[in-house]
Amino acid sequence: MFNLMKTAILMAAITALFMAIGALIGGQTGMMVALVVALGMNFYSYWFSDKLVLKMYNAQEVDESSAPQFYRTVRELAQRAQLPMPKVYLIEEDAPNAFATGRNPEHAAVAATTGILRVLSEAELRGVMAHELAHVRHRDILISTVSATMAGAISMLANFAMFFGGRNGEGRSTNPIVGLLVMFLAPIAAGLIQMAISRAREFEADRGGAEISGDPRALASALQKIHQYADGAIPLQAAERHPETAQMMIMNPLSAGGLRGLFSTHPSTEERVQRLLAMAPGAA
């Protein structure tokens, strides 16, 4: 229920941001057009944002015949977590990463890159997928997917400000600097909304993933390995094209250059590893 409330608040905040941008671009008419667009985006995001994100990553659904070990791992973990079996997807990317999406546990999907299957051991992969299933169990996946979709839409809308400039309530042109400010500030505002949502839930998903897999050390080891690749060694091309989706990943996949470096949507890997190791049997 709490996450549904957070999702509703997020949708309302982004609708208000849409309307503000619309007002700056086209006055009262622009604000009303933006309201209609925002309501349509809210509806689409709730029902179809998971499909959109999976399409962005060109994720391909797999089953027990096409990816037997990976599929069986997810099925066994879903049973341990007492969750319905999610749809399982693979993404042809060398960078190791994974995410979960969907509007609720009954309509969930988990996706992993082919790179993560090559890099991690079986125990480490179990830890990662348990982390993603913890997101499903905590019902984080709806707000995560909706925020990614809406942030992308806001960034696209803000870009119109550069071409059309701002207009006041009487339809007269305003200072073009306003349009430039909107172009830069709107994506930052969307990123701040995502950042406020993401950090605490990653710690909770780590804890839940360790409980589901029964092996916090393996998840800690997986995070350390993924961090080495995510730290600029191998870019995740789909995430670079759609940076608004970075907060869905188990590890921030974006390069640190430019404005993208401001949107660190995950806690530090070191702190996550320390917390997981403290959960391990025999930890001091």
Backbone angles phi, psi at 103, to 5 degrees: -95, -15
Taking residue 239's Cβ as centre, other Cβ atoms within 10 Å add up to: 25
Instruction: Name, in order, each residue with C-beta under 8 angstroms of 249's C-beta and a sequence gap of 6 or more.
Output: 97, 98, 99, 236, 239, 266
204 flagged as catalytic: no
DSSP string, 94-123: SS--EEEEESSGGGEEEEEEHHHHHHS-HH
Considering the candidates 124, 132, 202, 244, report the single residue annotated as catalytic.
Answer: 132
Q: Given phi > 0 = left and psi -120 to 50 = alpha, else beta, which region is 165?
A: left
| Sheet with 87-91, side-by-side order of all strands | 60-62, 87-91, 108-113, 98-102
Instruction: Name, in order, each residue with C-beta under 8 angstroms of 275's C-beta and a sequence gap of 6 or more.
Output: 203, 206, 207
Active site residues: 132
